[in-house]
Chain A
Amino acid sequence: MRKILKNILDYLDSKVDYADIRFVETNRENIEVENGILSTYNISKDRGTGIRVLVNGAWGFASSNDLKKEALLKTAAKAVKIAIASGMVKKEDIKLAPEEKHIACYTTPIIKDPFKISSTEKLELLIKATNLMLKDKVKKSEGSLDFYKTHKLFLSTEGSEIEQTLFESGGGIAAYAIGEGDFQKRSYPSSFGGDYATSGYEFIEKMRLLENAERIAGEANELLVAPLCPEGVMDIVLGGSQLALQVHESCGHPVELDRVLGKELSYAGGSFLTLDKLNHFTYGSPLVTITADATLPGGLGTFGYDDEGVPASKSFLVNKGKFTGYLTSREDAFKLGLPSNGAARAESWNRIPLVRMTNINLLPGNLELDEIFSDIKQGLYLDFNKSWSIDDKRLNFQFSTEIAREIKNGKLGKIYKNAVYHGITPEFWSSCDGISKEKYWHIWGVPNCGKGQPGQTMHVGHGTSPARFRNIKVGASK
């Protein structure tokens, strides 16, 4: 394959300012079980090639599942034609931030290849876990496992040749307690499909799905008869899973430089973190430090090189409360006179790289969990996302969680259902006055981040530990 791709680059070399070519092959195994019965066992293999060219300062991209040399030559010619069409409506030549040539290989370090674990073992785990949850009003239980092995080959006219093999493993369980006119859901280890990592099957074994199945079923049953979450302004503690979503929506997306530059305006929107705010804006309290780190072992946004051939890196987005950096591609970084920090990622061969999150992490603080709760007289502990919405500049957000627990005089109390909290991004992060220690810190894998047209789903990670926020507006959905 490498030889054919090189031939295509040779063909393009005299016709373009720049070209890159990506071959991607993804093998996936997805198993879903409901109430102890298999509902889906899907195996898939998807492969193809995407060719991106810059001609007279304008982009063109064409992709095809046909891997024959003649077909790829046609695809390359199509990419050039598209770039020429782009050039009809341009303002200035697109330029890329400089990047060294890389000849490299990267493979996710794993202990157990998930594709070599028997189907029977995986099925038994899900069947047992979903059966364990069927207690009292839990009339429906779900369990899923999801494994990816992605082989990528990147070549560019700048001479880079990068080969990567990424392994991803994920899964989770959920219990639904169903009553008259109401149902309540509890998920483990996280909502919307569970937790994911760049890891082997050992990640699934560490989840302890069986050990947690009955507990979450019990919580679902409790929620069904629980009172609605009280309304008011109070102190809250966000659990790690919900905090991951909070970081994702209110920090991860607004620091994407393409949004800031208006490139997503018609669809996902812009950002309140405009260029004038870089290094001059208080994003949160001095406790709040947020990094983008694609080098974290196990993070779902961990890789060797991004899809423009830029090495994975760590950078500070918010440092002690001050807004200090964006996620960038080579094209967008050039506009700021900076090198790319390696955040241009494509869902697969048939999509262009866009500025995407890698692992966006709220760094841990210095408090024990009981210290986080200890000086709250009346508040709420909220965790496991149920619903999310945020405006097109990423300021006004409202999230709801699967479960809320009363905090009274520093102690956790009764359960409430249908909890909702609301805030304005910088005000919310400025109210953060306690973050728990590293031992409570976990990188949550989010496998469903959507962006772009045509749509792309990206796998990203968020390191968080439970944190405290003061005077937050809370309430309940009806």
Chain B
Amino acid sequence: MKDKYFWENFIEKVKKNFEGLDFEIVAMENNSGLTRFAQSYIHQNVAETNLNLTFKVINKDKVSIVKLNSLDESEVFKNIKRAIELSKIIPKLDYHYSLLKSQDYKIKGEFSEETANFTPLNRAQQIIRLVKRVNQKGYEASGALETGVETVMVANSEGLFAFDRETKVDFNSVITKDNSTAYHSFINSNVNHLDIERISDELLDTALRNVDQVEIEPGVYTVVLSPEAVAEILSEADYAGFDGKLIMEGKSFISGKQGKKLFPESITISDDPFEKLTMPIPFDFVGCPRKKIDLIKDGVIVNGVFDHITAIKYNMECTGNTLPPESASMGALSFNIVMKQGEDQLEDMISNTKKGVYINRFHYVNVLNPMNIELTGMTRDGTFLIENGKLTKAIKNMRFNTSVIDLLKGVDMISRERHTKSGFVGPVVAPYLRTNNFTFSSKTSF
């Protein structure tokens, strides 16, 4: 992997080729491996080494973007020239694209040598441990274990230079025996934190209870959501609601509602790279430093996150949420979604529920109506009926149609315990939630 000094030298070498025009350069290099298993054997096992380079040329009010995945000098120079030529013939923007000056970064990504050097053999050994444990109980394991290292470099003609590298381990598994299933996922910067024995036990604990599923009727239920399920809901809400571009265009439920108290005081959601449980991302893809951004604070809508272009267009402040150059028209997404913990224990959330449903995982969630973030999706891999304070029966999968606004309004218990799960672009730190306003719209036969 190229280090910071390589990229500093690279910028020095290529900057004269921009013919005095302003420029931004984004480089992303990754070296990763992913082992996939199904029915307790490895069926796919892959590795990738790649490096993407994006050149953005700012020619007065014209901006062009050229991307390649080669460091070959002649290719690099040819593509810079291509970007310059393109910048001469395309129309002007309706705003002045300004570059950030040199910045200070207060955090950096977490890097672990063990994770960077984790081999296919190491991954296979972890999978063997899972497979042996669940096979003993008659279950088969499916899933994926990914380990890798990624570096990101952002530089521009104003002297901004940002470099970061981080490692990642991403694991998920479903275990199955007939109709009995369970799911668990794990994401971290350090593979040493991957505890396969504990995960195996949790999978078996859920699966052994997820048998003889019964049907329940659709309707409005009190539900207890796992951190996995909460993370999915928060990611969808972020995508459909907290993008500053959507807000300014009047296409978000937040538009015009900033400062209004819509939710219970216990609801605080932020984009927070400083949170201990997250995997920090220090800057965005124009080199804007990441900071803590409150999205909902004590039940009050604060605002969304803003990318560099939207911030310029609407005279707002870039919040450090700019996406890679080729995705710039999408607006912004939160990179480190964090939901504040509550005071409750999962056991109390269940024991205080007279009749309700525990949901371990959602499947294929999609936005039905972005203006109230009405979502639809299915439950899978561990849905249980709660009766008189106890998990009594496993339930066949259900479809839900529910608004995130209604869901959050109905939250009356939040756990102290939180877990880090995968989101759309970064990790999501989520607790268990109990809400009394969750609508199941139909059921399945399995």
**Contact B67–A395 (Cβ < 8 Å):** no
Known: A82-B47, A262-B38. A389 touches B378 (CB 8 A): yes
Give B309's nearest chain A residue, CB to CB. A39
Interface centre among A32, A46, A62, A453 (most CB of B within 10 A): A453
**Contact A82–B329 (Cβ < 8 Å):** no
Known: A40-B328, A43-B65, A64-B48. 11 other contacts (CB 8 A): A40-B65, A61-B45, A61-B46, A78-B47, A88-B125, A123-B90, A266-B144, A269-B363, A391-B363, A393-B446, A478-B374
Across chains A and B, the number of contacting residue pairs, with CB separation under 8 Å, is 246
**Contact B380–A391 (Cβ < 8 Å):** yes
Name the B residues within 8 Å of A393 (CB-CB).
444, 446
**Contact B34–A139 (Cβ < 8 Å):** no
Give B83's nearest chain A residue, CB to CB. A43
Give A396's nearest chain B residue, CB to CB. B444
Q: Mark A29-63, 1 if CB is under 8 A from B, else 0.
A: 01010100111111111111000000000111111
For residue A435, give the distance in angstroms from its CB to the closest CB of chain B: 26
A81 located at the interface, meaning its Cβ lies under 8 Å from any Cβ of chain B in the complex: yes
Known: A63-B47, A89-B41, A265-B176. A420 touches B368 (CB 8 A): yes
Name the A residues within 8 Å of B190 (CB-CB).
none
The list of the 5 closest CB pairs from A to B, nearest first, reads: A85-B120, A44-B67, A477-B368, A266-B174, A477-B369
A182 located at the interface, meaning its Cβ lies under 8 Å from any Cβ of chain B in the complex: yes
A388 to B399, CA, bound (A): 12
B257-277 CB contacts (< 8 Å) to partner A = none
Give B66's nearest chain A residue, CB to CB. A43
For residue A427, give the distance in angstroms from its CB to the closest CB of chain B: 11
Q: Interface size class for chain B?
A: 35 or more
**Contact B42–A90 (Cβ < 8 Å):** yes
B94 located at the interface, meaning its Cβ lies under 8 Å from any Cβ of chain A in the complex: yes
Which of B45, B176, B249 has a CB less than 8 Å from the CB of A83?
Answer: B45
A39 to B121, CA, bound (A): 46
Which of A41, A91, A387 has a CB less than 8 Å from the CB of B376?
Answer: A387
Q: Mark A153-181, 1 if CB is under 8 A from B, else 0.
A: 00000000000000000000000101001
Known: A140-B249, A391-B364, A396-B399. A38 touches B91 (CB 8 A): yes
For residue A424, give the distance in angstroms from its CB to the closest CB of chain B: 8
Known: A41-B64, A83-B45. A263 touches B91 (CB 8 A): no
A140 to B249, CA, bound (A): 8
Name the A residues within 8 Å of B34 (CB-CB).
453-454
A340 located at the interface, meaning its Cβ lies under 8 Å from any Cβ of chain B in the complex: no
**Contact A48–B45 (Cβ < 8 Å):** no
B44 located at the interface, meaning its Cβ lies under 8 Å from any Cβ of chain A in the complex: yes
**Contact B65–A453 (Cβ < 8 Å):** no
Known: A265-B142, A265-B174. A91 touches B41 (CB 8 A): yes
For residue A415, give the distance in angstroms from its CB to the closest CB of chain B: 17
For residue A85, give the distance in angstroms from its CB to the closest CB of chain B: 4
Name the B residues within 8 Å of A140 (CB-CB).
249, 251
12 CB < 8 A contacts A-B: A30-B326, A43-B82, A82-B45, A82-B120, A85-B42, A94-B43, A183-B370, A265-B142, A266-B183, A390-B364, A393-B444, A398-B401
B366 located at the interface, meaning its Cβ lies under 8 Å from any Cβ of chain A in the complex: yes
Which of A59, A64, A123 has a CB less than 8 Å from the CB of B50?
Answer: A64
Known: A44-B66, A91-B39. A391 touches B378 (CB 8 A): yes
**Contact A65–B50 (Cβ < 8 Å):** yes
For residue A252, give the distance in angstroms from its CB to the closest CB of chain B: 15
Name the B residues within 8 Å of A263 (CB-CB).
36, 38, 43-44, 142
A387 to B240, CA, bound (A): 13
For residue A58, give the distance in angstroms from its CB to the closest CB of chain B: 7
**Contact B365–A389 (Cβ < 8 Å):** yes
A350 located at the interface, meaning its Cβ lies under 8 Å from any Cβ of chain B in the complex: yes
B377 located at the interface, meaning its Cβ lies under 8 Å from any Cβ of chain A in the complex: yes
Interface centre among B37, B125, B325, B378 (most CB of A within 10 A): B378
**Contact B329–A39 (Cβ < 8 Å):** yes
**Contact A88–B121 (Cβ < 8 Å):** yes
**Contact A43–B67 (Cβ < 8 Å):** yes
Give B95's nearest chain A residue, CB to CB. A37
Interface centre among B91, B173, B371, B374 (most CB of A within 10 A): B91
B423 located at the interface, meaning its Cβ lies under 8 Å from any Cβ of chain A in the complex: no
Name the B residues within 8 Å of A46 (CB-CB).
52, 67-69
Q: Mark B316-358, 1 if CB is under 8 A from A, else 0.
A: 0000000001101100000000000000000000000000000
A269-283 CB contacts (< 8 Å) to partner B = 269
For residue A36, give the distance in angstroms from its CB to the closest CB of chain B: 9
